[in-house]
Chains A and B, each alone.
Chain A
Amino acid sequence: MSGFYSGTDLFSEFDRLQRQMESLFGGLPSSLRSSRFGAFPQINIGTTDDSIEIVAFAPGVDVAGLDVAIDKGLLTISGERKAAHSDAGDDTRTYAQERFTGTFRRAIELPQNADPNKVQARYANGCLSVSVGKRESSKPKAIVVQ
């Protein structure tokens, strides 16, 4: 059901370790298009035999202001999240402002076998799900042994 999550905390331990290593060694080469850790929206990526599934956790974003585009194998999710509390009066005190506001852009390098003509995107409950189909030729095939 929740295939986008793994049940253990081993991965986050690994992340922490990786970040520690990065700070120690000044950063190993990573994709030029990768974002810093904790960028908005957070993204999970998975694959099935037929498609590449991307979920962006972008709560409170206006669908009209959400832009999903594919250009030469690069999937871009961009948009803007407006501050929830715009009508702040003079007597309003702010105690916490942890939620992201402003414009955002995240890019995902799609594998060679992604088919840009087979893309579906859906926004529900604050999650943007993008499904990119794979080309027919790249789908797994059983090889018959003669």
Chain B
Amino acid sequence: MNDKTQIAERDQEALARRERNQPARRMTLTPAVDVFEDSQGITLWADLPGVTKEKLDLKVQDGNLYIEAEAVVPTPTGLRLQHAEIREPRFARAFSLSPDFDTSKIFANLQNGVLKLTIPRRDEARPRQIEVQTN
């Protein structure tokens, strides 16, 4: 176990060196998403298996939407990993939001490891039919 921790720490140092201007980050997975838009706004689905509400961090900062999450899968003690297709329990993905979205009314719902976000448009940004007068 000690050996593993050592390798992980060394790896992070290498990453930090590569991106010198950024603080040291941990390796993360990019969750798969579906993004749809209709006249009301954007609906975004993201796959976050193993993530609970407590381990999900959603924030809007400087016009960007950040999704960060950590998966927790209960495992018995003394488990030896033999085959792994998911190796990092951390998910992270960011999107930029155009100013016509109302970030104060974002609605988030997490169910069975799927996050659903609805991001409404501002009322004044909704499409409007303009009536044409003929006289």
Contacts and interface: CB of A to CB of B under 8 A. Distances in A.
Nearest to A89: B38
**Taking each of B32, B78, B81, B111, which has the highest tally of chain A beta carbons within 10 Å of its own beta carbon?**
B81
A8 B11 contact: yes
Contacts of A75: none
Contact of A5 (B48, B83, B86): B86
Interface residues of A, number: 51
Given A2-B72, A2-B73, A126-B114, A44 B36 contact: no
Given A48-B76, A55-B75, A127-B71, 9 more contacts: A2-B73, A3-B79, A4-B86, A8-B4, A9-B11, A60-B47, A93-B38, A99-B33, A129-B73
Interface of A: 1-12, 38, 41-51, 53, 55, 57-61, 84-85, 88-89, 91-100, 123, 125-127, 129, 131
Interface of B: 4-5, 7-8, 11, 27, 32-39, 43, 45, 47-52, 71-89, 111-114, 116
